[in-house]
Amino acid sequence: MSFVEYGETIKDGDTAIVFLGHESMFPVKVQHGTVTQTKYGVIRHSTDLIGKKYGSKVTCSKGGWVFILHPTPELWTMNLPHRTQILYSTDISIITMMLELKPGSIVCESGTGSGSLSHALIRTVAPTGHLYTVEFHQQRAEKAREEFREHGVEHLVTVTNQDVCKNGFGVSNIADAVFLDIPSPWEAIGHAKSALKAEGGRICSFSPCIEQVQRTCLAMEEYGFTEINTLEILLRVYNVRTISLQIPDLGKAAEDNSSTGFDSSKPSHQASPCANLQQGTVQFKSGVPLREVVGHTGYLTFATKT
């Protein structure tokens, strides 16, 4: 199993996603002799998982069933154990596009955090690219190394435990792109410039506060970066609801008027023949936005080295 190469069958030691529903799923490490408890009953790894195809429908001990999915960066983002705040698919998608990443790209990242963006970057630059990721916290760096090894991508990533603001990324003049997700990104702009290739490299800084963005933009200008721009990606979720509306029987009224020779231009003291008819209703699906949306995650500032 690898997050960048699809495997047909589930093997001992794989990381798989147990899918109970769109709002309920979790990762599990497949191990011979192990069982996993769900609300539908027990899943026995030896008999229910190992050797089965990914995407299989597995019946649990209580008679309920789940699907076992092959892991992807998108599914991992939704199910990973949180060691820090993470980036979600909304921001990750625009980051990979605006940094102009492709297979073979060299990327520097700080900090690694929970590895949400890291997995997406690795999948994008595989099979010939490489990710150099720096994490200040030693335990988080060690955990990230362990996860990359379990997920079969350790040959595509180098994890370094150091302060990027003081010591940089450990590489020079080779990166196609640099990503910063640290409290004071303006202190690392000089190191980012040193890590980027001679010309045309792209940089992105993620910050939740606009004051951080302002200081970062000033530092980028000071170090000669151009095409500096800041984006805010807002997510708007819609709920699908069934709505009932009354519909007047206008067709019946028009038919009665024409058949009786009723002249609408002449006043009449008699009520319309369909005035007392009960109106019908029609049901249809409608998309309704949520009244309260927590849309802001952070500001993304992009620039180019010249």
Domain CATH code at residue 144: 3.40.50.150
**Is 249 part of any known ligand binding site?**
no
pTM: 0.84
- Token pair listed for 90: 């909304």
Is 65 among the domain residues? Answer: yes
**Is 117 part of any known ligand binding site?**
yes
**Is 116 part of any known ligand binding site?**
yes
**Is 176 part of any known ligand binding site?**
no
Are 59 and 141 contained in the same domain?
no
DSSP 3-state assignment of 286?
Answer: strand
Q: What is the domain extent for residue 92? A: 75-234+295-305
**Is 163 part of any known ligand binding site?**
yes
Are 101 and 83 contained in the same domain?
yes
Q: Average pLDDT of the chain? A: 90
CA within 13 Å, CB half, 34: 11
The model's pLDDT over 140-182, given as tens digits with 9 standing for 90+, comes to 999 999 999 999 999 999 999 999 999 999 999 999 999 999 9
**Torsion angles phi and psi, residue 278, rounded to 5:** -80, 130
Of the three residues 53, 71, 89, the one that is the final residue of a domain is 71
Positive/negative CA dihedral, 95, 99, 105, 111: negative
Are 81 and 124 contained in the same domain?
yes
Is 243 among the domain residues? Answer: no
Neighbours of 173 (CB within 10 A): 11
Are 91 and 66 contained in the same domain?
no
Residue 65: is its pLDDT beyond 90? yes
Residue 288's pLDDT is what?
84
**Is 115 part of any known ligand binding site?**
yes
Is 143 among the domain residues? Answer: yes
**Is 290 part of any known ligand binding site?**
no
Of the three residues 71, 87, 114, the one that is the final residue of a domain is 71
